[in-house]
Amino acid sequence: MKSKAFLKTPLGYALLEGDAAGISRFILTDEDNLPNTTPAPEFTEAVSQLEEYFVGQRKEFDLQLNPQGTEFQKRVWQALQDIPYGKTTSYMELSKQLGDPLAIRAVAAANGKNPLWILIPCHRVIGSDGSLTGYAGGLWRKKWLLEHEQQEKQQSLF
């Protein structure tokens, strides 16, 4: 039986879904009228780790994930988890890493279908020219996440 939890993040409310097999969905939403419920016990650790991430105290997640997708999508999502915190890669590099540089569009499509935003860091994939490209949660969220993960914060000169 699937359980749901909603939590407030700096990027808006998030929906967390899963069951005994693991977390199957984590997305951000523009909804602001969501139920304010206490997360089910199976989400306690996930909520704790996400809160640590958003305040800059966590760089990696240690959670049981159970995303639903095709075998190819799961391969892409697994590769996304290898992108280090604070780093980015391009769709081209990701497709090369997966063994088929011509699969760039399929890799991009699988990236866009990632049901576990942030937990599987699809926001760390950018265009080959360094540009921010599509993000299901909106480019402003992608920009925020990448800036949040910057190792060295830009210091103001004044």
Instruction: Annotate 38-74 with b (16+ C-beta within 10 A) or e (fewer).
Output: ebeebbeebbebbeebbeeeeeebebebbbeeeeebe
CA 135, 141, 144, 145 dihedral sign is negative
Residue of 65, 104, 116, 122 marked catalytic: 122
DSSP 35: -
Please say if 27 is a catalytic residue.
no
Question: Alpha-carbon distance 124 to 143, whole Å?
Answer: 10
- Tally Cβ neighbours within 10 Å of residue 33: 6
Rounded alpha-carbon distances, angstroms, from residue 98 to 4, 72, 118, 138 = 33, 10, 21, 26
What are the residue numbers of the active site? Answer: 122
